[in-house]
Structure 1
Amino acid sequence: MGEGNISVTYWLAGGGCIGKIASFGILPVLREVAMPTRKINLTAEQDAFVEDIVRAGKYQDASEAIRDVLRGLQQRVQADDLQLELLRTQLKAGRDALDRGSFTEVNDADLDTALDGLSTTR
């Protein structure tokens, strides 16, 4: 560009350029941002569900609906990972307590009473 010209480029979060604006007249140069595509197989029931929610106006198209499903799956996987990490931490604390001798032995006859006591103290 020549001296005095300013160009600003706008980018999407995913990295795609959505346009440039020059100082001499605002002439946006918009281009479609390519998204990766995948072929997926759905059951007839799943396909009908996607069609129904798109037709009802809840999503603009099937791709938008499937992306929303994937976001939900990502959240569930993250929550599962956090729960697993918590269980591992609790397991380690229990093993450490055993190694230190910090535990109470309970005989079979008193087990139910001991377990009931644990549930009421939490």
Structure 2
Amino acid sequence: MPTRNVVITDHQQKLVEELVESGEYQNASEVLREGLRLVEKQRAEDAARLEALRRHVAAGEIDIAAGRYVDVELDELDGFMDDLAQQVMEARQQR
């Protein structure tokens, strides 16, 4: 397995030591590998959320181009959002 020298803060060193001493991990390498797994997982989740957001934006642009939207005046926004929230709650209850 490849090795790396890394520089960590005193706080991070204490955390690594606590995790090893608690028995959660056998050594510092296991702690750091777990950290990298978490970074990898977070990046994958972020990429999936970004892709979902892009799909929703594209769908919204198609709806706007097709005229499927509602103009709401700023002073009516609160009421519109309340009505929308109510519609969502009703739709969830019907499922």
TM-score normalised according to structure 2 size: 0.85
More strand by share: 1
Superposed displacement of residue 110, structure 1:
1.3
Structure-2 residue corresponding to 1:46: 12
Superposed displacement of residue 73, structure 1:
1.2
More helix by share: 2
Partners of 2:87 and 2:54 in 1: how far apart? 23
Unmatched tracts of structure 2, length 5 or more: 89-95
Superposed displacement of residue 120, structure 1:
2.5
What SS class does the counterpart of residue 121 from structure 1 fall into?
A: helix
For residues 92-113 of structure 1, give each alpha carbon's deviation from its aligned partner in whole angstroms, at most 9, with x where no partner exists.
Answer: 1111111111111112221111
Partners of 1:116 and 1:91 in 2: how far apart? 23
Structure-2 residue corresponding to 1:99: 65
Partners of 1:36 and 1:61 in 2: how far apart? 16
Structure-1 residue corresponding to 2:52: 86
Superposed displacement of residue 121, structure 1:
2.3
Deviates most, 112-121 or 67-76:
112-121
Superposed displacement of residue 37, structure 1:
1.7
Superposed displacement of residue 82, structure 1:
0.6
1:56 to 22, 27, 50: 22
1:110 to 68, 73, 76: 76
1:75 to 41, 45, 66: 41
Unmatched tracts of structure 1, length 5 or more: 1-34
Structure-1 residue corresponding to 2:92: none
TM-score normalised according to structure 1 size: 0.67
